[in-house]
Amino acid sequence: MAALPQSPLTGILAEETVVIDFGEHEGKSVLQVNDENPDFYTFLIDQKEQGNSTIRRTKDKIFRLYVNTPLQ
């Protein structure tokens, strides 16, 4: 049995089900951002690899992606 492909950003969650919850892309799905702005998608992957992003399921049962920015 072959393993299902996983997103480098959302893991087992389908990219169209995870919504960005910050910045100029707020309200767009990760899949939509991947299509429209690959550089920002790469930035999101980098943030995940650095441990600066979180996906949370909110009360409205939507998965939301957050990027934590350290205070300077």
The domain ranges of the chain are 15-67
Quote the CA–CA distance of 17 and 28 in Å, as a whole number. 10
pLDDT > 90: percent of the chain: 85
Characterize the bridge pairing of strands 18-20 and 53-57: unpaired
**Is there a contact between 18 and 64 (Cβ–Cβ < 8 Å)?**
yes
H helix intervals, 1-72: 30-36, 38-49
User: Looking at this protein, which amino acid is placed at residue 69?
Assistant: T
pTM: 0.85
For residue range 39-55, list pLDDT tens digits in order: 999 999 999 999 999 99
User: Looking at this protein, which amino acid is placed at residue 68?
Assistant: N
